[in-house]
Amino acid sequence: MKDDGCLNHSILLDSKSFDCRDRWLLYALRLLLNVLVIAVVVVLVTTNFSEAFYKDKSLPKTSKCLCDHGVITTTPVTFSDKVKTNEMVSDHLNSDRRYSSEVRHIAFLKVHKCASSTMLNIFYRFGYKRGLNFVLPIKDNYLHMTHQKGLISVVPPPAMSGYDILCNHVTKFSKEEFSRYLPPDSKYIAIVREPFQRMYSAFHYYRNLARFPFLTEVGGLDPFQTYLNNITLLETTWGDYSVTNNKMARDFGFPTQDYKNMTKFKTYLGTLDKQFHLVMVSDMFLESLVLLRRLLKWSMEDVIFLPINVHEHKHLTTSASSVNIEPFLALDRILYDHYLTRLKEQISAQGPDFHKELQYFRVINAKISAFCHSKDTVRKLLSFRANEWHGDFNITPKDCHLLAEREIAFLNFIRSEQYKRVEKYGANIRYFQ
């Protein structure tokens, strides 16, 4: 058929009855009608799905997460099958049966100035390699888990999935708040440090590096000694802003108004014992990591580390300092001694093979540290053969980069990866209903 200048689609009409303009008009009307029919079908399908998904009708069916990353639409998308969000899972983790029993649901209480940044790197690496979902702050690095219906307060997980790991800083520990995000089978981990060394480290870090204004005002030739000499006055003035006054006890959730109630605190320790599966001790860091590996059924490659956010300080003893500090360390001292004793008891219960594993871990972690800090540009790979604690694995320059990644940079990267999955699949907002 000769093209007479009109779009020659078989419209199934008598061409003699319509001129070129009429055929164009009829074609456009039929096209519009088809589009409207499709639109109605889509609206009906998505409406039915949405009503089934949102049990709480008071929450808008489409919410917006306004954050540094941009505007994230939290309306979930539909899928014909279960969504596979863990797209970064390595092939060997899927195929190797040794990884089938590993614990992936973890709550870590990040206690200030207790090697917790190094621990954060370990959890970030573990979750990143498996495409797991973290409970992450929408911005900055602190989780403010204030629950308000309809308010998206943390980065949501992708649709059809949930949270796996919570390991960022919180204002204080609350099992109720943690369990609102994490599955019931989650393992609860924390870490403590010798109180006086932690106090000194915190004073140095928050005064000289973080530059907290109320700390920079402490002067003298030796500002820390000035602080010790005036600790009662300063701590009373700082109040809840203090980063030194029994800070570990506060991180574990003990209220400041009860700081002088030792009986109540010892009772509170009993509650914590029931909630935490392992409280690590930074002064026995390698031993703690071996216990962690065993508890979580991880491979040894998952707990290798390079120290993160570690600063050199002179080693001080309390005998050289003011006796006035004791009230401001009293709770932390009880807490530390309690969990140091508990850790040693857990090690004793492991049997003689624990020390064999500890020695091996010490050796390979030193080798990895040397490799990652080496200036040798020829060696591109450090290989370890399989044994009872791990399978075959290699350390590459990329692994070294992840091992050395600092807290904020790693957080921003993990947060970006989770946002990508949310953008692709939609968001699961049941945690905010």
Helix 353-373 to helix 397-404 angle (10° resolution) is 100
Strands 382-384 and 393-395: antiparallel
Same domain, 42 and 178: no
pLDDT of 281: 98
Sign of the dihedral through C-alpha 137, 141, 145, 146: negative
The answer to whether residues 105 and 167 touch, using CB atoms and an 8 Å cutoff, is: no
The answer to whether residues 120 and 388 touch, using CB atoms and an 8 Å cutoff, is: no
CA 234 to CA 205: how far, in whole Å? 17
pLDDT of 352: 87
Same domain, 141 and 195: yes
pLDDT of 343: 98
Domain count across the chain: 2
Domain with 42 in it = 1-53
Same domain, 35 and 124: no
Tell whether 77 is covered by a domain: no
Residue found by looking up tokens 């596979």 in the block: 84
SS3 state at 382: strand
Same domain, 160 and 45: no
Nearest of 71, 84, 65 to residue 136 by alpha carbon: 65
* Paired strand residues for 187: 106
Tell whether 69 is covered by a domain: no
Same domain, 7 and 132: no
Same domain, 118 and 234: yes
Cα atoms in the 13 Å half-sphere on the side-chain side of 426: 17
Tell whether 81 is covered by a domain: no
pLDDT of 65: 44
Same domain, 42 and 151: no
pLDDT of 168: 95
Tell whether 62 is covered by a domain: no
Q: Which residues of the chain have pLDDT under 70?
A: 1-29, 31-100, 309-322, 377-379
SS3 state at 64: strand
Tell whether 391 is covered by a domain: no
Same domain, 176 and 246: yes
Same domain, 209 and 280: yes
Same domain, 106 and 25: no
Tell whether 83 is covered by a domain: no
Tell whether 27 is covered by a domain: yes
Same domain, 184 and 112: yes
Tell whether 378 is covered by a domain: no
pLDDT of 351: 87
Per residue in 410-433, pLDDT (tens digit) is: 999 999 999 999 999 999 988 888
pLDDT of 66: 39
pLDDT of 429: 87
Same domain, 252 and 350: yes
Q: Is 27 exposed, middle or buried (0-12, 13-18, 19+ CB in 10 A)?
A: middle
- DSSP result, 117-183: HHHHHHHHHHHHHHTPPB--BSSSSEE-----TT---BPPPBTT----EE-SEESS--HHHHHHHS-
Name the CA radius of gyration of the chain, rounded: 29
pLDDT of 11: 33
CATH label of the domain that carries residue 212: 3.40.50
Nearest of 246, 278, 253, 280 to residue 114 by alpha carbon: 280
pLDDT of 316: 56
pLDDT of 210: 87
